[in-house]
């Protein structure tokens, strides 16, 4: 008490504020106050946390009495912590501040209560709850263990210990703690065993025990069927069990219930619904779910990342690139997002930017999800090869393979790079390695077909393209159409013209904008002497890909066969402007010019022969 008044006197001296004098009973000397009592009362009323305590607990009259008797100067209340030795007050104050999310002040109030009654387990539990809300999990763990020293079977304290361990990534210990909580004294405070069942489910999911996790979430839902977070946890576990329709339905239930989100929001339910749909092959539906999640929580880099992955899987690299860009803006060093950004930039032919993104990914935060840095090294290799730096690109791809020897995509790209370098035997060997690791890898079969075709090994190339077509996913329309178009060329080389035409037609049916498909159709029709159809096919290819020497050459030959000599000469002239050494164009241009000359000569009218005049 002496210290209390010493501080007060010192503060009065330092502040030099005006003192007020109030009369006191029994003619005692007037007491000095800084502010009128009514002003202090108004200050208390204006502070929601103080007013709840003072008016609910009946402390206000006591304080007014203390003020009138001069024991507590009001200026001290404004500038120093109130030194009340009332445990109930500090406990209630701690709880109210926690409800208002004023966590630092709440912890300070809890500490005041603990100083008064350190043996009270409930106040330690309250303090632990606030620390968990602050994401101070190590401190929360210590606080929970302090409560358990006082009450070893306190169910809520054990459940809090489980929660803290869970967030410290100690999943096995967390699972054991939640089990212990469920067998403890049943004292759950203001909550229920739902807390332990839910956290147990999360721990089991992290441990890969998805069936057990589903059971735990069901137990939590038996206690509260509207717990959206428990429904989301169950949805996630069902997705990992490949029970995808059940998972989607459960996430829908979470969205419909729309309760008990804690610090989360319905965005998490839309996100996990999208993951289930994506795994179920419902890519467009998954993208729509991710769109909903982004609308609710646009600052989550993981949602943007997954959104981009879904768009990339349906061959929408430009849109995917935007999503990855947002993910990187939110988390600039996010390695996985940067690696995926590099992949989409490679598909868009932006090789310099792709290399920069892959370099950043390698130097990033090392968050790779279910993949490894091999992804970034592979994309770096593709970018370098795309810029013509084949040897350096090959070195990066080799680094990817060193990190993950079973990385089929890297072996496939190694094969393509060696093919560009003219190392055909090595290219075939690496292509074989890719298809051995993943026999259903359509892109690897497609590239193998290209390599074999360049070596004129047509039967083997045909087999490779057939495998590419067989294993193309429903979302890989571009790859499927290209495989069919390339197969038509192989069939043409094998003189299987009707099959070649059917393959080209199927490619165009999948992608009507595929110039290669129209060109190959023209080639086959030209061989079948269906010249007008061939010209139509070449003309369509020319519209889609202007200034292509091969297309213009085919178009010229079709026009020559149709007898449209002037148009044919114009097509050959355009071909030679692009490829001056094209001997086929030169030869056919000469033929067309000679025929046109003959035609013009034949069309010239013959002049009548005028007889000579007889001589006399």
Whether the pLDDT of residue 47 is over 90: the answer is: no
Distance set, CA 585 to CA 307, 405, 529, 549, 589 (Å) = 49, 48, 19, 9, 6
pTM of the model: 0.76
Whether the pLDDT of residue 29 is over 70: the answer is: no
Percent of the chain with pLDDT strictly greater than 70: 84
- Cα 85 → chain centroid: 53
Would you state the pLDDT for residue 71? Answer: 42
Would you state the pLDDT for residue 473? Answer: 83
Q: What is the mean pLDDT of residues 378-396?
A: 97
Would you state the pLDDT for residue 18? Answer: 33
Whether the pLDDT of residue 421 is over 50: the answer is: yes
Whether the pLDDT of residue 72 is over 80: the answer is: no
Distance set, CA 371 to CA 340, 392, 488 (Å) = 11, 23, 37
Phi, psi of 539 (to 5 degrees): -65, -40
Residue at token pair 């110039």: 515
The burial class, CB within 10 Å (0-12 / 13-18 / 19+), for 419 is buried
Would you state the pLDDT for residue 263? Answer: 79
The CA-based dihedral angle spanning residues 36, 40, 41, 43, taken in that order and rounded to the nearest 10 degrees: 140
The burial class, CB within 10 Å (0-12 / 13-18 / 19+), for 594 is exposed
Find the helix or strand (DSSP H, E) in which 259 lies. none
Q: What is the mean pLDDT of residues 115-120?
A: 95
Would you state the pLDDT for residue 3? Answer: 37
Whether the pLDDT of residue 24 is over 70: the answer is: no
Q: Are 365 and 334 in contact (CB under 8 A)?
A: yes
Whether the pLDDT of residue 78 is over 50: the answer is: no
Q: Pick the closest to residue 164 from 189, 145, 180, 188 (CA basis).
A: 145
Whether the pLDDT of residue 414 is over 80: the answer is: yes
Whether the pLDDT of residue 365 is over 50: the answer is: yes
Whether the pLDDT of residue 23 is over 60: the answer is: no
> Which pLDDT band, with edges at 50, 70 and 90, does 546 fall under?
very high
Find the helix or strand (DSSP H, E) in which 366 lies. none
How many other C-beta atoms lie within 10 A of the C-beta of residue 301?
19
Distance set, CA 243 to CA 11, 135, 386 (Å) = 70, 33, 41
Distance set, CA 282 to CA 275, 354, 548, 596 (Å) = 10, 29, 38, 59
Would you state the pLDDT for residue 85? Answer: 85
Greater confidence (170 vs 614) lies with 170
For residues 340 and 260, give the distance between their C-alpha atoms in angstroms, rounded to a whole number: 34
> Which pLDDT band, with edges at 50, 70 and 90, does 469 fall under?
very high
DSSP alpha helix (H) spans, 117-243: 121-133, 137-150, 155-167, 171-182, 194-206, 210-223, 228-240
How many Cα neighbours within 13 Å face the side chain of 305?
20
Would you state the pLDDT for residue 66? Answer: 43
> Which pLDDT band, with edges at 50, 70 and 90, does 545 fall under?
very high
Per-residue pLDDT reduced to its tens digit, 309-359: 999 999 899 999 999 999 999 999 999 999 999 999 999 999 999 999 999
Q: Are 451 and 468 in contact (CB under 8 A)?
A: no
> Which pLDDT band, with edges at 50, 70 and 90, does 475 fall under?
confident
Would you state the pLDDT for residue 207? Answer: 97
How many Cα neighbours within 13 Å face the side chain of 78?
12
Whether the pLDDT of residue 502 is over 60: the answer is: yes
Find the helix or strand (DSSP H, E) in which 33 lies. strand 31-33
Long-range contacts made by residues 269-272, C-beta under 8 angstroms, separation at least 24?
269/228, 269/231, 269/232, 269/235, 270/296, 271/300, 271/302, 271/303, 271/306, 272/232, 272/235, 272/236, 272/239, 272/247
Going by C-beta distance under 8 Å and a sequence separation of 6 or more, which residues neighbour residue 512?
Answer: none
How many Cα neighbours within 13 Å face the side chain of 265?
10
Per-residue pLDDT reduced to its tens digit, 207-231: 999 999 999 999 999 999 999 999 9
Q: What is the mean pLDDT of residues 599-616?
A: 64
Written as six digits, the tokens of 156 are 């809520």
Lowest mean pLDDT among 46-50, 111-115, 365-369, 541-545: 46-50
Written as six digits, the tokens of 393 are 């690109």
Q: What is the mean pLDDT of residues 296-310?
A: 96
Percent of the chain with pLDDT strictly greater than 90: 80
Whether the pLDDT of residue 195 is over 90: the answer is: yes
Phi, psi of 43 (to 5 degrees): -65, -40
Residue at token pair 């120093």: 80
Whether the pLDDT of residue 306 is over 80: the answer is: yes
Whether the pLDDT of residue 462 is over 50: the answer is: yes
Whether the pLDDT of residue 16 is over 90: the answer is: no
Provide the 3-class DSSP secondary structure of residue 372.
coil
Would you state the pLDDT for residue 70? Answer: 45
Would you state the pLDDT for residue 6? Answer: 37
**Per residue in 106-120, is it b (16+ CB within 10 Å) or e — as a string?**
bbebbebbbebeeeb
Would you state the pLDDT for residue 611? Answer: 59
Lowest mean pLDDT among 32-41, 167-176, 191-200, 585-594: 32-41
Per-residue pLDDT reduced to its tens digit, 554-605: 999 999 999 999 999 999 999 999 999 999 999 999 999 999 888 888 876 6
Whether the pLDDT of residue 121 is over 90: the answer is: yes
Pairing of strands 31-33, 20-22: antiparallel
Would you state the pLDDT for residue 606? Answer: 60
Residue at token pair 């005006």: 18
Q: What is the mean pLDDT of residues 251-272?
A: 91
Would you state the pLDDT for residue 36? Answer: 39
Q: What is the mean pLDDT of residues 269-293?
A: 96
Distance set, CA 606 to CA 68, 594, 609, 610 (Å) = 136, 20, 9, 12
For residues 47 and 159, give the distance between their C-alpha atoms in angstroms, rounded to a whole number: 34
For residues 209 and 172, give the distance between their C-alpha atoms in angstroms, rounded to a whole number: 11
Greater confidence (390 vs 12) lies with 390
For the chain, give the mean pLDDT: 87
Whether the pLDDT of residue 610 is over 80: the answer is: no
Q: Counting runs of H as helices and runs of E as strands, what totals does the chain give?
A: 34, 2
Q: What is the mean pLDDT of residues 275-286?
A: 95
Find the helix or strand (DSSP H, E) in which 1 lies. none
For residues 61 and 243, give the distance between their C-alpha atoms in angstroms, rounded to a whole number: 63
Lowest mean pLDDT among 9-23, 138-152, 427-441: 9-23
Residue at token pair 């593709």: 382
């Amino acid at each position: 008490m002496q210290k209390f008044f010493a501080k007060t006197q010192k503060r009065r001296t330092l502040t030099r504020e005006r003192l007020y004098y109030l009369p006191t009973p029994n003619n005692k000397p007037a007491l000095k106050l800084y502010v009128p009592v009514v002003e202090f009362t108004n200050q208390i009323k204006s502070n929601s946390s103080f007013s709840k305590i003072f008016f609910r607990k009946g402390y206000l009259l006591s304080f007014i009495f203390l003020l009138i008797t001069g024991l507590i100067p009001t200026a001290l209340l404004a500038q120093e912590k109130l030194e009340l030795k009332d445990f109930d007050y500090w406990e209630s104050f701690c709880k109210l501040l926690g409800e208002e999310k004023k966590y630092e002040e709440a912890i300070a109030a809890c500490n005041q209560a603990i100083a008064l009654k350190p043996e009270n387990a409930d106040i330690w539990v309250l303090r632990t709850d606030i620390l968990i809300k602050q994401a101070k999990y190590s401190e929360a763990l210590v606080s929970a263990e302090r409560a358990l020293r006082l009450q070893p079977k306190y169910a809520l304290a054990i459940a809090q210990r489980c929660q803290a361990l869970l967030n410290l990534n100690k999943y096995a210990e967390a699972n054991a703690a939640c089990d212990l909580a469920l067998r403890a004294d049943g004292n759950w405070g203001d909550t229920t065993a739902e807390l332990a069942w839910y956290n147990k489910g999360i721990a089991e999911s992290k441990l890969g025990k998805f069936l057990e996790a589903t059971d735990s979430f069901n137990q939590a839902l038996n206690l509260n069927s509207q717990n959206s977070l428990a429904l989301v946890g169950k949805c996630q576990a069902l997705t990992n069990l490949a029970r995808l329709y059940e998972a989607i339905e459960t996430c829908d239930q979470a969205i419909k219930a729309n309760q008990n989100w804690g610090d989360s929001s319905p965005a998490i339910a839309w996100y996990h619904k999208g993951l289930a749909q994506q795994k179920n092959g419902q890519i467009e539906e998954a993208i729509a779910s991710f769109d909903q999640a982004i609308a609710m929580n646009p600052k989550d880099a993981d949602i943007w990342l997954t959104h981009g992955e879904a768009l990339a899987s349906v061959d929408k690299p430009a849109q995917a690139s935007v999503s990855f860009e947002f993910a990187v803006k939110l988390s600039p060093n996010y390695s996985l997002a940067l690696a995926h950004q590099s992949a989409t930039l490679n598909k868009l032919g932006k090789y310099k930017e792709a290399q920069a993104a892959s370099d950043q990914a390698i130097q990033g935060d090392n968050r790779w999800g279910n993949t490894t840095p091999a992804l970034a090294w592979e994309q770096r290799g593709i970018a370098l090869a795309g810029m013509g730096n084949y040897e350096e690109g090959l070195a990066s791809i080799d680094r990817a393979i060193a990190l993950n020897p079973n990385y089929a995509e890297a072996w496939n790209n190694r094969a393509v790079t060696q093919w560009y370098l003219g190392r055909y035997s090595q290219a075939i060997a690496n292509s074989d390695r890719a298809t051995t690791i993943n026999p259903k890898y359509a892109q690897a079969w497609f590239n193998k077909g290209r390599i074999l075709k360049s070596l004129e090994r047509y039967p083997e190339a045909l087999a490779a393209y057939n495998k590419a077509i067989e294993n193309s996913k429903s979302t890989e329309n571009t790859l499927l159409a290209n495989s069919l178009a390339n197969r038509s060329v192989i069939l043409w080389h094998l003189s299987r013209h009707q099959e070649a035409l059917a393959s080209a037609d199927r490619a165009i049916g999948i992608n009507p904008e595929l110039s290669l498909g129209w060109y190959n159709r023209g080639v086959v029709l030209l061989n079948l002497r269906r010249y007008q159809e061939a010209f139509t096919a070449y003309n369509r290819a020319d519209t889609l890909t202007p200034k292509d020497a091969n297309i213009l050459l085919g178009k010229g030959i079709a026009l020559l066969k149709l007898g449209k000599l002037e148009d044919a000469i114009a097509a050959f002239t355009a071909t030679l402007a692009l490829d001056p050494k094209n001997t086929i164009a030169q030869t056919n241009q000469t033929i067309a010019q000679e025929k046109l000359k003959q035609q013009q000569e034949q069309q010239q009218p013959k002049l009548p022969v005028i007889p000579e005049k007889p001589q006399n």
